[in-house]
Amino acid sequence: MLYTINKSPLMFGNLKSVLRVAPTGDPILLYEDGVYAAVKGAASEDLLAAAVADHPLYALKADLDARGLVSLADGVQVIDYDGFVELVEQHQVVPWL
Amino acid sequence: MLYTINKSPLMFGNLKSVLRVAPTGDPILLYEDGVYAAVKGAASEDLLAAAVADHPLYALKADLDARGLVSLADGVQVIDYDGFVELVEQHQVVPWL
Amino acid sequence: MGETVAVLMRKAPYGSVYTAEGFRSMMGIGVFEMDVSVVFVDDGVYALVKGQDPAGLDMKPLGDAFPVLADFGVTKFYVHDDSLTERGLTPDDLVMDVEIVDGAGAAQVLESAGLVLPF
Amino acid sequence: MGETVAVLMRKAPYGSVYTAEGFRSMMGIGVFEMDVSVVFVDDGVYALVKGQDPAGLDMKPLGDAFPVLADFGVTKFYVHDDSLTERGLTPDDLVMDVEIVDGAGAAQVLESAGLVLPF
Amino acid sequence: MKMGVLVLEGPYQHEAADSAYHFVRAALARGHEITGIFLYTDGVNNANGYIKPPGERNIGQRFSELGAEGIPVVACTACARFRGFRRDMVSENVSLSGLGALSEYLRESDRFVTFGD
Amino acid sequence: MKMGVLVLEGPYQHEAADSAYHFVRAALARGHEITGIFLYTDGVNNANGYIKPPGERNIGQRFSELGAEGIPVVACTACARFRGFRRDMVSENVSLSGLGALSEYLRESDRFVTFGD
């Protein structure tokens, strides 16, 4: 299934928590404030690396651009809304709000 | 000043973050979902103990009762809305929303 | 396609309307004879804590209402073990009998249902 | 009594309206000639990151607007050092010059102002 | 594919309504059918026909336009009563209904996506 | 003392409006003067006179009652336009105004408390 995260990683436990449930191999999408987890050099980078080790990890371009985030951690795949829909074609969705 | 926390401690970083700013001796009030930090035996208890070590710590009775929280960690002082107002008489307020 | 649905409860009650409306959606969907599973993870487990008394907030208690869902055909309740434990709670602290699952078990319930409604 | 006020910015922009309305409140209060200090802590520091382009969301950029506040008499900006550092940011990443303060410094600004508006 | 959408937050306060709209537009562009958009809790406020944001995107109008294109856009009746949102405020091509509509969209959908906070 | 209050969330979705109401009632009971209650962002929805929650506390009516007791209760005009909240929906003893009202309450208050999310 596709797990989606819309909260920032340093003030919300959502990304940390989803890793306890999402099975290895299931994709994770960062969107809205969730995209802050995709940046390089933040204190959340270890968490992101743990996510990338076990899951295909995507971040939504429109939300990255809005927030001025250009320097992304290794393993993050940037997709647009068309890509979001494509992931939903391939997977059922678990919004981890 | 009176720092007020309305978010739960295991899913939100608010309590952890306020401890980096609130000066020693300034009181902290837990209300709304913030009162979950006041319970005994939760994984947030160390954080609560750190708060209690440096700050008078209060939890709002109406919010504790609503959530069925009866077993509270040491050092938590339970107050009602009258007590909330009394704290505001004594201190300016920093809502750490 | 979707005759089965999982309601995923991850938020604490009273602080926001999510718990109450998650509950109401289960009644609403259950009454239309869909096969509903309910999974409590993270702060969502607080919804089931015994002894909730929001009279001081002029609100209605939520916890005690959950067992009533059986009347609407909603009978499958799963609680995530670590979420419970890290909150200092045990199954005895909850208003009803539930099945305790680990992370993989919770994921399995969501996957079996297919469609997921998060609250 | 309150001729001075501190606006406390703790939330990330775009995900909620808080940043935008915190900004608007500063203009509104500044124009009424109150003495406004602005403190950025936690995700609030993201409000000042350079290069924000929300065109894809059909929204207006927020970051570049902050320097305009000087025209409304709002000129005192403080950024919490640890909040910046743990986000992998340096002062060079921000849209304007600000004063970097530690936790105690941030608390001092809030205390000096007395009244605090949180966004 | 058939996709249903649930929106749990109102306009402007959170990004949820925007995200839902962009997702629906992208899904339509890829040829999918939207079985329905259910506006629940504060989400009902996206159905308000009087939204007039000076110089900004009109989120209310966006959902009305999706309705005009034949997509069922339905706001929860009970939630509307709690929020003082009356039937005469509902924007064109949007309607009020109960949780039966949500059940119907779930039943008809291959995928279901919720946007909230 | 003179105390001002700011509300940043609407009715029912979050506890903020409830907390603000209980705080104001307790402050009045202790003999304080409320300089004003400013309803900002989604907080404006608390000023809706058509709120009709079946069998539940009426949050809209509560703010209207505080207004009837002489406390200035003001909802932000611009926020209202963004939310389709029209002047004819405003409950009795509540009014719409700009950020000048917020500035005034700040200026007049010894204490200021914000409720939001």
In this prediction, residue C32 has a pLDDT band, given cuts at 50, 70 and 90, of confident
* Active site annotation includes F79: no
Write out the DSSP string of chain A.
-EEEE-S-TTTB-HHHHHTTTSPTT--EEE-GGGGGGGBTTSTTHHHHHHHHHHS-EEEEHHHHHHTT---BPTTEEEE-HHHHHHHHHHS-EEE--
CB E98 within 8 A of CB E81: no
Mean pLDDT calculated for residue range B2-11: 98
Q: Does residue B6 have a pLDDT over 70?
A: yes
Interface contact E15-D14, CB threshold 8 A: yes
Q: Does residue E63 have a pLDDT over 60?
A: yes
Tokens 């006179």 correspond to F49
Identify the closest residue of chain E to D57 by CA–CA distance: E18
ipTM of model over 0.95? yes
Whether residue C44 lies within 8 A of chain B, CB to CB, comes out as: no
Q: Does residue C61 have a pLDDT over 60?
A: yes
- Closest CB from D51, D56, D86 relative to A62: D56
Interface contact A94-C118, CB threshold 8 A: yes
* F92: Cβ contacts below 8 Å, ≥ 6 apart: F49, F64, F67, F68
CB F65 within 8 A of CB F58: no
Count of the separate structural domains present in chain C: 1
Q: Which residues of D touch A61 (CB under 8 A)?
A: 56
Which residue out of F74, F76, F96, F101 is catalytically annotated? F76
- Where b means 16+ CB within 10 Å and e means fewer, D45-61 reads bbbbbeebbbebbebeb
Domain ranges of chain A: 2-96
Q: Which domain holds residue D61?
A: 4-118
pLDDT per position as a tens digit, B17-39: 999 999 999 999 999 999 999 99
- Closest CB from C11, C103, C114 relative to A21: C103
In this prediction, residue D1 has a pLDDT band, given cuts at 50, 70 and 90, of low
Does domain B2-96 correspond to CATH entry 2.40.50.100? no
Q: How many C-beta atoms surround the C-beta of residue A71 within 10 A?
A: 11
CB E26 within 8 A of CB A84: yes
pLDDT score at D2: 64
Interface contact E13-D58, CB threshold 8 A: no
How many H-runs (helices) and E-runs (strands) does chain E carry?
Answer: 4, 5
Three-state secondary structure string covering F99-116: HHHHHHHHHHCCEEEEEC
Chain D, window 79-108: residues with a beta carbon less than 8 angstroms from a chain B beta carbon = 80, 82, 103-104, 106-107
Q: Which of A81, D66, A82, D65 lies closest to E18 in space, CA to CA?
A: A81
Neighbours of chain D (3+ CB pairs under 8 A): A, B, E, F
Task: Return the beta strands (E) in chain C as ranges.
Answer: 4-9, 35-40, 76-80, 99-101, 115-118
C and D adjacent (3 or more CB pairs under 8 angstroms): no
For B52, what's the count of Cα atoms within 13 Å in the CB-facing half-sphere?
18
Chain F, window 25-64: residues with a beta carbon less than 8 angstroms from a chain E beta carbon = 41-42, 45, 48-54, 56, 60
> Phi/psi at C30 (nearest 5 deg)?
-60, -40
In this prediction, residue B8 has a pLDDT band, given cuts at 50, 70 and 90, of very high
Distance in Å, alpha carbon of A49 to nearest chain D alpha carbon: 15
- Any idea of the CA torsion for C74, C80, C81, C87, to the nearest 10 degrees? -100
Whether residue C42 lies within 8 A of chain A, CB to CB, comes out as: yes
Q: Does residue C2 have a pLDDT over 80?
A: no
Q: Does residue C1 have a pLDDT over 80?
A: no
Question: What span, in angstroms and rounded, lies between the C-alpha atoms of E49 and E67?
Answer: 12
Q: How many C-beta atoms surround the C-beta of residue E86 within 10 A?
A: 15
pLDDT score at F48: 98
In this prediction, residue B49 has a pLDDT band, given cuts at 50, 70 and 90, of very high
Interface contact C41-A21, CB threshold 8 A: yes
Write out the DSSP string of chain B.
-EEEE-S-TTTB-HHHHHTTTSPTT--EEE-GGGGGGGBTTSTTHHHHHHHHHHS-EEEEHHHHHHTT---BPTTEEEE-HHHHHHHHHHS-EEE--
Interface contact C25-E40, CB threshold 8 A: yes
pLDDT per position as a tens digit, F47-84: 999 999 999 999 999 999 999 999 999 999 999 999 99
Please name every residue paired with E34 in a beta bridge, in sequence order, or none if there are none.
E3
pLDDT score at D69: 95
Q: Does residue E78 have a pLDDT over 80?
A: yes
- Indicate which CATH number applies to the domain containing D64: 3.40.1260.10
Interface contact A67-D57, CB threshold 8 A: no
Question: What span, in angstroms and rounded, lies between the C-alpha atoms of D5 and B94?
Answer: 11
Q: Does residue C33 have a pLDDT over 90?
A: no
In this prediction, residue A78 has a pLDDT band, given cuts at 50, 70 and 90, of very high
Which ranges of C12-115 does DSSP label H, i.e. alpha helix?
A: 18-31, 81-85, 103-113
| For helices F59-68 and F16-29, angle between their N-to-C axes, nearest 10 degrees | 30
Q: Which residues of B touch A12 (CB under 8 A)?
A: 11-13
**From edge to edge, which strands make up the β-sheet containing A76-79?**
A76-79, A57-60, A28-30, A2-5, A93-95
Q: Which residues of E touch D14 (CB under 8 A)?
A: 15
Whether residue D12 lies within 8 A of chain A, CB to CB, comes out as: yes
Q: Which of B31, B37, B29 lies closest to B6 in space, CA to CA?
A: B31
CB F36 within 8 A of CB F93: no
Q: How many C-beta atoms surround the C-beta of residue F9 within 10 A?
A: 27
Question: What span, in angstroms and rounded, lies between the C-alpha atoms of B54 and C94?
Answer: 34
Whether residue F78 lies within 8 A of chain E, CB to CB, comes out as: yes
Identify the closest residue of chain F to C61 by CA–CA distance: F56
- Any idea of the CA torsion for D28, D30, D34, D36, to the nearest 10 degrees? 110
Identify the closest residue of chain C to F53 by CA–CA distance: C59
